[in-house]
Amino acid sequence: MNQKLLILAVACTLGLSACNRTDDAAARQDAAEAKAAAERAGDSARDALHETGQAISSGADAAAARTAEATEEAREAARRAGERSEAAAREAAADTSEAAANAARNTSDALDRAAERADNAAQDARTDNDN
């Protein structure tokens, strides 16, 4: 890039020196050299712009590839998290069902004991009346 700026500076210098000459042949020669240098500077600038465009394009392609890769990784992580969530939900449902079964058994046992006490109380009431 510095070389291209140097060529442009030389072209400008030659162009200005051509303006100060009084000798027509020398002025024409300097003007021709200045024109050639300006053309080289323009070509160099065009090349630099083309190379910059290619670098930007390559960078954009690489960024797109990295984005696609990151998207796939995120998709896989979400799938694994979904599997873990599904397993956790199944385990929570099993724990809840187990707790409900235990509560029902405990309630059933308590009702059985209450029924037995009520039967005993009824039996005692009948036998007290028989005496």
Q: How many domains does the chain have?
A: 1
Kind and range of the H or E run holding 65: helix 24-130
Residue 112 belongs to some domain of the structure: no
Residue 122 belongs to some domain of the structure: no
Average pLDDT over residues 77-88: 86
pLDDT tens, position by position, 14-44:
555 555 545 577 767 877 887 787 788 777 7
Neighbours of 31 (CB within 10 A): 16
Q: How confident is the model at residue 86 (pLDDT cuts 50, 70, 90)?
A: confident
Average pLDDT over residues 103-131: 83
Residue 13 belongs to some domain of the structure: yes
Residue 124 belongs to some domain of the structure: no
CA torsion, ordered 77, 78, 81, 86, to nearest 10 deg = -150
Residue 110 belongs to some domain of the structure: no
| Owning domain of residue 36 | 2-98
CB neighbour class for 30 (10 Å; exposed up to 12, middle 13-18, buried from 19): buried
pLDDT of 106 > 80? The answer is yes
Tokens representing 15 are: 């162009």
Residue 59 belongs to some domain of the structure: yes
Answer for the pair 14, 37: CB distance below 8 angstroms, yes or no.
yes
Q: Residue with structure tokens 């890769």?
A: 69
